Amino acid sequence: MGQLDGKTAVVTGGTSGIGLATARRFREEGARVYITGRNKDTLDKAITEIGGNTIGVQADSADLASLDRLYTTIADAGHHIDILFANAGGGTFATLEQVTEEHFDTTFDTNVKGTLFTVQKALPLLNDGASVILTGSTAGSVGNEAFGVYGASKAAIRSFARTWANELRTRTIRVNTIAPGPITTPGLNGLAPNDEQAAQLRDTLAAGVPLGRMGQPEEVANLALFLATDQSSYITGTEIFVDGGANQV
Calpha distance 127→76 (Å, rounded): 16
Question: What are the backbone dihedrals phi and psi of residue 157, each rounded to the nearest 5 degrees, phi first?
Answer: -60, -45
Whole-Å CA distances, 15 to 41, 45, 100: 10, 8, 28
Q: Which candidate, 4, 29, 39, 156, places its Cα nearest to that of 86?
A: 156
- Helices and strands, number each (H, E), in the chain: 9, 7
Calpha distance 92→153 (Å, rounded): 12
Catalytic residue chosen out of the listed positions 34, 71, 150, 234: 150
Tell me whether residue 71 is one of the annotated catalytic residues: no
Neighbour order of strands in the sheet with 81-86: 54-58, 32-37, 8-11, 81-86, 126-135, 174-180, 239-242
- Collect all residues with Cβ–Cβ distance below 8 Å to 55 and sequence separation of at least 6: 32, 33, 34, 35, 47, 73, 77
Q: Which residues are catalytic?
A: 150
